[in-house]
Amino acid sequence: MSHSSKTPRILAIHAHPDDIEILCAGTLIRLQEAGCEIHLRTMTAGDCGSAEMSAEHIARKRLQEAQAAADLMGASYDCLHFLDLQIVHDNESRRRVTEELRQVQPDIVITAPPVDYMSDHEMTSRLVRDACFNAAVPNYDTQAESPALPMSQIPYLYFVDPVGGVDYYDNPIDPEFIIDVSRQFELKQKMLACHESQRAWLRKQHGMDEYLESSLRWSETRGSQIKAQYGEGFRQYKGHPYPHDNLIQEILGQGPLVV
C-alpha cells in the first residue's frame, strides 16, 4: 500500500473514554509526528464510570474529558453512544461501527484485543474487525440517514494489549511488536490525566494516583522488553484478506522491535 500521494489516516477506536490513552496514545502521538491524521473514537461515553453521579451526569463529564484529551494532541474525537456494559455483537451494532469507518475512511485501525478482562472490550474488538471487512463491501447497507461511501479497501487492523497483558487465566498475551514511546510519554500521561473523574474515583479507592501510576508501570514493562524507557504493545490482525505488511512500523521507520 503506497502512501506517497496522501496523508495516512489513523482511527483508534476502543470501548471507553481513557482506554486509548492508557494503551496506545504514545504510538498515536508518534504517528501524528510522522505526518498521520489521527481520529479517536469511543464506543461508549462511560455512563457506568461513577458510584456517585448519575449515568447522564458522568457520561457528559467523561465526554468532555475525552474531548480535552484529544485536543491536547490535536486529534478528532467522537463517541458512538453505545452504553457501558451493553455493547453487543449484532447486526445493528455492526452497521453503526461500519458507518463510522466509512465516515473516517482510515488506512489503519487500532482497536481492543479479542481477549480481554471484560465484554465491552471484546465486543468492541469483534465489531471493529467486522466493520473493517464490511466497510469495503459496496452492497453492505448501514441504514444510516446520510450514508458515507464504502471504503476502497480493507484497512490495516491492529489490536492493543489487553489490560495487564493477560488472558482470562492470567497467562501472558505477548505482543507481536512494541513501539518505543519514551519521547511521547509525557504527553500520553497528560492526555490520561484529562480523565479526572476516573482519577478521582481511583484516588478514593487506592489512596494514590493509581491511574497514572498503573499506566507508567505498564508502559515501563513493555518498554523494558525492547530496552526502551516506555513502550506500547500491539498485535496485527492478519486474517484473510487483511493486509499483512506492518504499515505502522513502515510509517515510523522503526525496525521490527519484536518481543
CATH of the domain at 182: 3.40.50.10320
Which pLDDT tens digit goes with each residue over 14-23?
A: 999 999 999 9
Q: What is the mean pLDDT of the chain?
A: 93
Domain assignment of residue 255, yes or no: no
What pLDDT is recorded for position 4? 46
Q: How many domains does the chain have?
A: 1
What pLDDT is recorded for position 199? 76
Domain assignment of residue 27, yes or no: yes
Long-range contacts of 225-230 (CB under 8 A, 24+ apart): 225/178, 225/259, 226/178, 226/180, 226/257, 226/259, 228/178, 228/180, 228/181, 228/182, 229/182, 229/185, 230/26, 230/180, 230/181, 230/182, 230/185
Which pLDDT tens digit goes with each residue over 9-45?
A: 999 999 999 999 999 999 999 999 999 999 999 999 9
Which pLDDT tens digit goes with each residue over 120-140?
A: 999 999 999 999 999 999 999
Domain assignment of residue 259, yes or no: no
Domain extent, residue 182, equals 9-249
Residue 229 in this model has a pLDDT that exceeds 50: yes
Residue 1 in this model has a pLDDT that exceeds 70: no
- Mean pLDDT calculated for residue range 81-110: 98
CA angle 99, 152, 121 (to 5 degrees): 40
Confidence at 254, pLDDT banded by 50, 70, 90: low
Domain assignment of residue 3, yes or no: no
Which pLDDT tens digit goes with each residue over 154-170?
A: 999 999 999 999 999 99
Residue 147 in this model has a pLDDT that exceeds 80: yes
What pLDDT is recorded for position 3? 45
